[in-house]
């Protein structure tokens, strides 16, 4: 489902959670939504899911407004960190409500995922551990196959093997049943390879929306003697620097052409990539020069 956000503002009283945010998401892609705690990630996903009404601006999914649009929100799934589950009844009861709510619900796939995560239909949701509830939320999100599916840190309670099982299941099912998936996460190094596009928000504002590979290509580390690094990076967008004795490493943002790269080699400087996590840290408040 195509998603269009224009000049989105969301306020809680006098506090602004989302500040004039504008972007569009194409259908059938996996998006990474990155931001520090309190940046507005959950607020944004809540608006996209119709859980909250925007203060101002426009939010359209499939060309239609989301808030109080029951026909549309049946096609949108937001799985939050506690899991999209209820505190009464059993896993089987959760599946009953999910099947009633989600027109594309695949019960057979849901049962396969239960086996994958070691869950049973008769388990009582109230007595589940955090990891089990997270796994149940993941099952509901994947088996619902909503055209717009969002996971807001929904897998944090799961242990590492379970998280990797989730990533594999998501990719396999996405390949067979493409839809728009948004993954909000702090586990950037672990899950970043899944992203096709990346959105980075900071203090309620959109900082970056770019293809993952293009974004990574814009970040370069420049390492060498401090004076040469200082001269080479003059006038460039330096996101941050680190020093160890006479050696300096500068993280720069912006593509380097061949002439720049030859100049770095002539100066004895080493150029290297910057990880997505490091780029995220620098772009959202890392120490800058």
User: What pLDDT score does 285 carry?
Assistant: 77
User: What pLDDT score does 286 carry?
Assistant: 56
Give all domains of the chain, ordered by start, each with its CATH number. Answer: 3-210 (3.40.50.300), 218-283 (3.30.70.2020)
Question: What tens digit of pLDDT does each residue of 129-171 get?
Answer: 999 999 999 999 999 999 999 999 988 889 999 999 999 999 9
247-253/219-225 β-pairing: antiparallel
148-152/180-184 β-pairing: parallel
Of 51, 42, 36, whose CA–CA distance to 18 is shortest?
42
User: What pLDDT score does 81 carry?
Assistant: 75
Contact 260, 220 (CB under 8 A): no
Whole-model pTM: value is 0.91
User: d(Cα 155, Cα 169) in Å, to the nearest integer?
Assistant: 13
Residues in the chain predicted with pLDDT less than 50, given as ranges, are 287-289
User: What pLDDT score does 1 carry?
Assistant: 87
């Amino acid at each position: 489902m195509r998603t269009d956000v224009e000049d989105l503002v969301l306020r809680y009283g006098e506090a602004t959670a989302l500040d004039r945010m504008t972007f569009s998401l194409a259908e059938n892609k996996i998006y990474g939504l990155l931001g520090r705690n309190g940046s507005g990630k959950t607020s944004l996903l809540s608006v996209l899911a119709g859980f909250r009404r925007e203060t101002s601006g426009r939010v359209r999914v499939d060309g239609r407004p989301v808030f109080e649009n029951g026909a549309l929100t049946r096609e949108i799934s937001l799985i939050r960190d506690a899991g999209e589950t209820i505190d009464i009844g059993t896993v089987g009861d959760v599946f009953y409500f999910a099947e009633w709510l989600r027109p594309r619900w695949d019960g057979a796939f849901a049962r396969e995922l239960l086996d994958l995560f070691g869950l049973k239909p008769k388990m009582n949701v109230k007595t589940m551990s955090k990891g089990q509830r997270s796994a149940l939320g993941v099952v509901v999100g994947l088996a619902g196959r909503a055209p717009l599916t969002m996971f807001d840190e929904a897998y944090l309670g799961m242990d590492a093997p379970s998280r990797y099982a989730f990533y594999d299941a998501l990719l396999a099912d996405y390949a067979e049943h493409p839809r728009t998936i948004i993954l909000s996460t702090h586990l950037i190094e672990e899950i970043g390879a899944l992203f096709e596009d990346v959105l980075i928000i900071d203090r309620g504002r959109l900082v970056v929306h770019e293809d993952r590979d293009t974004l990574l290509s814009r970040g370069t580390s420049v390492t060498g003697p401090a004076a040469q690094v200082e001269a080479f990076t003059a006038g460039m967008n330096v996101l941050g620097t680190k020093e160890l004795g006479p050696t300096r490493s500068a993280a720069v943002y912006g593509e380097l052409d061949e002439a720049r790269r030859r100049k770095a080699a002539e100066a004895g400087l080493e150029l290297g990539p910057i990880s997505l996590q490091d780029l995220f840290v620098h772009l959202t408040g890392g120490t800058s020069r």
